Structure formats: structure tokens, C-alpha cells
């Protein structure tokens, strides 16, 4: 096999190579759970959706997609010396950015069942489809979590900030 140097590739050839490597890596991660890599079920589902979209020739999240951006760091305010890495995301008019504490995801009902990522994602998705204002989406999220939890004691804060790009 002849080796090709990156500097000798055209832009389109490089893009194709990157797409091929990313697709193969995602396929390997998702198809062999015995490799010792542990993924939260939600992360695995997101990767599977991304892989399917990539194979279909699509880029990024669809208009109906809720994409979780994960920052592995201490929560704000826990340690004064914590450094946070920056995330850059391209947004366009009509997009929403939702920040929420784990208290929404981990809110439990009387049976001990958690509200969870799936319910939170579906609530966000539905509110965005309806074109809710930022304030209305916050109200919807907090209301849905409260309705789910019912009279169960609140174990954590339920903080939510929504920004809608104009």
C-alpha cells in the first residue's frame, strides 16, 4: 500500500479521509462493547444518531435534534480554581441554547424513577418545535419536572437558563 502525505491531498480528499476515519471509529466504538469503553446510554444513542446522519450525508444536528454538549468539570462555584475549556458552537436564528443543572435530570418521583435525559430532551424538543420563548421554555421544563416528581422531596436545585438566538 502506498502512503500518501496529508500535504499531498486535495481539500476534498482530506475531507473524505476524515469522514471515513470518523465513521469507522464511531462504528467500532458502538459495535464492540467489550473494549472497556463505558458510555452512558444517552451518549451511545446520540452517537448512533450522529453516525446514521453521517452515513446519510448530513452534518450536525437536525432542526428537530437536541444535542448535549458535555463539559467534564466541577460545577460552577464548587472550586474557585477550576479551569473550564471553551466550547464553540455555530448557532443560527431560531436556535435555542439550554443550560440546566443536574437537578432536572435527577429529579425523582415517589417510585424513585428519575426524570432523565430522554424526558428532558423530549421536553426541550417539543418546546422548540412549538417556538416557545425562552421564558416559556424555562417554565415548561420546570413545570414538567415538577409534575413528574409530584410530592417527592426535591433533592437538588432545579436551575435552567434558556437563550433563543434571534
Q: What angle do helix axes 134-149 and 116-129 make, rounded to 10 degrees?
A: 140
83 with 154, same domain: the answer is: yes
109 with 32, same domain: the answer is: no
DSSP per-residue letters across 36-50: S----HHHHHHHHHH
The residue among 77, 121, 119 whose CA lies nearest residue 98 is: 121
40-to-18, 53, 74, 116, 118 alpha-carbon distances in Å: 25, 20, 18, 12, 12
**Burial class (CB within 10 angstroms; exposed 0-12, middle 13-18, buried 19+) of 107:** buried
Interatomic CA distance for residues 140 and 124, integer angstroms: 9
> For the chain, how many structural domains are there in total?
2
Q: What is the pLDDT of residues 43-73, one digit of tens each?
A: 666 666 666 666 666 554 444 577 777 767 7
48 with 121, same domain: the answer is: no
pLDDT at 38 over 70: no
> By the 8 A CB rule, do 102 and 76 touch?
no
Look at residue 56 in the predicted model and tell me its pLDDT: 67
37 with 103, same domain: the answer is: no
The residue among 147, 123, 156 whose CA lies nearest residue 137 is: 123
Which residue carries 444518531 as its cell? Answer: 49
Mean pLDDT calculated for residue range 28-46? 59
Taking the whole predicted model, whether its pTM rises above 0.75 is answered as no
74 with 112, same domain: the answer is: yes
38 with 89, same domain: the answer is: no
Domain boundary among 14, 36, 55: 55
Tell me the residue range of the domain where 125 lies. 62-166
96 with 42, same domain: the answer is: no
128 with 150, same domain: the answer is: yes
114 with 79, same domain: the answer is: yes
Q: What is the pLDDT of residues 109-160, one digit of tens each?
A: 999 999 998 899 999 999 999 999 999 999 999 999 999 999 998 888 888 9
Give residue 1's pLDDT band: very low, low, confident or very high (50, 70, 90). Answer: very low
Contacting residues for 68 by C-beta, under 8 A, at least 6 apart: 42, 43, 46, 117, 121
Amino acid at each position: 500500500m502506498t502512503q500518501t502525505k496529508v500535504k499531498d491531498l486535495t481539500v476534498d480528499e482530506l475531507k473524505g479521509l476524515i469522514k471515513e476515519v470518523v465513521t469507522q471509529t464511531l462504528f467500532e466504538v458502538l459495535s464492540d462493547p467489550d473494549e472497556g469503553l463505558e458510555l452512558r446510554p444517552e451518549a451511545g444513542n446520540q452517537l448512533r444518531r450522529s453516525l446514521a446522519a453521517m452515513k446519510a450525508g448530513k452534518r450536525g444536528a437536525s432542526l428537530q435534534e437536541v444535542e448535549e454538549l458535555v463539559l467534564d468539570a466541577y460545577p460552577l462555584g464548587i472550586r474557585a480554581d477550576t479551569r473550564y475549556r471553551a466550547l464553540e458552537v455555530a448557532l443560527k436564528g431560531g436556535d435555542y441554547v439550554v443550560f440546566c443543572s443536574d437537578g432536572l435530570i435527577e429529579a425523582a418521583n415517589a417510585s424513585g424513577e428519575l426524570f432523565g435525559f430522554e424526558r428532558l430532551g423530549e421536553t426541550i424538543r417539543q418546546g422548540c418545535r412549538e417556538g416557545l420563548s425562552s421564558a416559556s421554555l424555562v417554565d415548561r421544563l420546570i413545570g414538567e419536572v415538577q409534575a413528574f416528581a409530584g410530592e417527592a422531596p426535591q433533592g437538588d436545585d432545579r436551575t435552567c437558563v434558556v437563550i433563543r438566538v434571534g
